[in-house]
Chains A and B, each alone.
Chain A
Amino acid sequence: MTAQKESTHTTDPHAAGLVASLLPCPEPVQFVDATGRRVPGGEGGRGYAQPTAEQLVETWRRMVVGRRFDVQSTALTKQGRLAVYPSSRGQEACQVGAVMALRPDDWVFPTYRDSVALITRDIDPVETLTLLRGDAHCGYDPIARHTAAQCTPLATQLIHAAGVAHGEARRGRDTVALGFIGDGATSEGDFHEALNFAAVFNAPVVFFVQNNKYAISVPLSKQTKAPSLAYKGIGYGVPSEQVDGNDAMAVLAVVNHAVQRARDGGGPFLIEAHTYRLDAHTNADDATRYREADEVTDWLTRDPIARLEAWLRSEGLVDDARVEEVTAEAEAFATALRDRMNADPQVDPMSLFDNVFAEPTPELVEQRYMVAQEIAAEQEEQE
């Protein structure tokens, strides 16, 4: 007979405190309420440290710039300068807050909606918009920037985040990977496979769900019966938290915690940030078909930028002059972007054949030649 039956679980699920330590707070963590007042005890008893004043001021500044960038991008779409733009207006605390908790050598895995996160990583705004302008699939170097190409096949990027995080850890580096995902995409299988892989390999990954209440038109109520998306972590042994996603201070506090924990070898962490997509899914979408205007108006009162600004003012950390300065900076950022986007980009059709393989296959060489002939003939006709 075998000496001892091996436990089927690596940890005793009934061990005191384990289940509790994996579950999120029953209510989203909130540090600052909609009026800009610090909420006493809002940390949910978890002891998330209040971010430094310096981090908060910088986060606010980048949210102001991010909002202006987002509005400018929507305008560029109307002017025909972008093929499509999925706005994240209203979600700035999430996108800026999450990125501000990272080091430049940490990895980010963004979706199509996370352009504001990209410019917060100091990726050139024109390079950020290259995908959406339609001149190439990605305008920046993902390896150099430790930022994956924006991902459209929902949830697929999170497994890459787990893989790169595991790979970096194996190389003895303390970099962390943060993967963005939307509420709807948490129904996709890859979300679950990614959580499970990250947990099993103890990979330093922070999964950051922006619950903006809709997946295009489908509300969260049709997506899940879970009490909160942050409850999806416990089944994988991944500690989770939910946070007021329009409270930048709370987002920063929780992501700071999750990132530090992962960096210290604590493994993955799941965060659900409750926020709201103020604009339609993209410029091509008509949100009036599936939601009431009142709902949007209501969320406008919970604006993330106004909220943090109110708190910073109350603490004397920013004043009228600073607000004016940052507003002007955001304006200049948008103007520069508009001017650069007004130039017609040169796209080289011959580049189509680059980077399919390291070396083109014989078919590609043939097709490249055919296209070159077509272009030459067209030019001749025009002359």
Chain B
Amino acid sequence: MTTLTMAQALNTALRDAITQDDDVVVFGEDVGTLGGVFRITDGLTRDFGEERCFDTPLAESGIVGFAVGMCMAGFRPVVEMQFDAFGYPAFEQVVSHVAKMRNRTAGAVQLPMVIRFPYAGGIGGVEHHSDSSEAYYAHTPGLKVVSPSTPADAYGLLRQAIEDPDPVVFMEPKALYWAKGEVQTPGQPLPFGRAAVRREGTDVTLIAYGPSVPVALKAADAAREEGWDVEVVDLRTITPFDDDTVARSVRRTGRCVVVTESHGFAGVGAEVAARVQERCFHSLAAPVLRVSGLDIPYPAPKLEHTYLPGVDRVLDAVARLQWDDEPDTRWLDSARGGAA
């Protein structure tokens, strides 16, 4: 075991994959000499050569499309989109080709590629540097969507993403890049579709992934003081989704709050809440609530703390889970927040 930041864990995973598999190639904008703007690819070109890690022209659609072609020649590309919001130029390639290629060619063309995104906010980035774009990809059949919350998971999930026969959208919470944790290196790939219970509790389940996991854990600590024993489930992978772990937890606690940093409307949190309700209805003592970012464009850095779902917002939601059998009437008051 070594103590690594998430950034170092990701870098180590790339190194180990490059060492073990000659077909792994890393490319994108500034990933070569510079080592990426977040240094995730630090030293790869120096240590493994331009052949294995190289800079490309500045064109996201080109980067992803080039990776599609390289897969057809038997490579396993790992490409970096410099920031969440700069992946949009590649959206057509991702949705129309990366996600569909296996299906539209009856399995003949496989795309074992990874598209890495530094994503989400909390680091004081100016506009277009803090989007949570995971729902766009999770909505698209054919893509696996992964988001680690610890250095150990970052290592194991990235190793799995590179070995995986399907294309993986790998969402790295940039606010957690510098968070430290114990990592086994060289380590094993971490299988997808297995959520982790980060903290056991009996009263309520908080479900989160990526940047929201530390928020949920902090909220759980704070809730203890209020007398609630909170369980925290970290999804790790959005697709494939681990219904078993989630449902087992909620059936036991009977209450559930989904915490996501992304906008709430039509987001991953909505999907999670629906799945919980479908599977755990008879065990639920209260409606499943969502705590999310606001449904506004991601704000300027000086206001992002207001946007981000923090511990207090999570605790407020927990408090509204009808502990005293009083129904939550907030949804009945349509004038809420208005003149009334």
Contacts and interface: CB of A to CB of B under 8 A. Distances in A.
Interface of A: 107, 136-138, 141-144, 148-149, 153, 156, 158-168, 170-171, 177, 189-190, 193-194, 196-197, 200, 354-358, 361-363
B181 to A, nearest CB: 28
B72 A160 contact: yes
B130 interface: no
B13 to A, nearest CB: 21
B69 A162 contact: yes
A293 to B, nearest CB: 36
B93 to A, nearest CB: 6
B109 A149 contact: yes
Given A193-B59, A194-B62, A197-B59, A142 B105 contact: yes
Nearest to B54: A201
A149 B141 CA distance: 19
Contacts, number: 143
B104 A138 contact: yes
Contacts of B104: 137-138, 149
Contact of A160 (B89, B97, B105, B164): B97
B142 A356 contact: yes
A197 B68 contact: no
Of all A-B residue pairs in the complex, the 6 with the closest CB atoms, nearest first, are: A163-B69, A167-B73, A159-B65, A193-B62, A137-B104, A164-B69
B332 interface: no
Interface stretch (B31-39, B218-226, B238-246): B238-246
A356 B66 contact: no
Given A138-B105, A163-B70, A166-B73, 10 more contacts: A149-B101, A153-B96, A153-B97, A156-B61, A158-B65, A159-B64, A159-B66, A163-B68, A167-B73, A355-B106
B62 A197 contact: yes
9 contacts: A142-B108, A148-B72, A149-B105, A160-B68, A160-B69, A167-B69, A194-B65, A356-B142, A357-B240
A200 B240 contact: no
Given A143-B109, A193-B59, A164 B73 contact: yes
A215 B73 CA distance: 32
B166 interface: yes
A363 B68 CA distance: 26
A357 B111 CA distance: 10
Interface of B: 51, 56-57, 59, 61-62, 64-75, 89, 92-93, 96-97, 100-110, 141-142, 144, 164-166, 193, 239-241, 243
A161 B97 contact: no
Contacts of A190: 61-62, 65, 92-93
Contacts of A164: 69-70, 72-73
Contacts of B62: 159, 162, 190, 193-194, 196-197
Nearest to B59: A193
Contacts of A167: 69-70, 72-75
A156 B57 contact: no
B66 A355 contact: no
A207 B164 CA distance: 32
Contacts of A358: 102, 110, 164-166
Contact of A162 (B66, B108, B109, B240): B66
A68 to B, nearest CB: 28
Contacts of A355: 102-103, 105-107
A165 B109 contact: no
A144 B75 CA distance: 16
The winner among A107, A137, A167 for most chain B CB atoms within 10 A is A167
B241 A361 contact: yes
Contacts of B72: 107, 142-143, 148, 160, 163-164, 167
B66 A144 contact: no
A346 to B, nearest CB: 15
A153 B92 contact: yes
B109 A356 contact: no
A184 B100 CA distance: 24
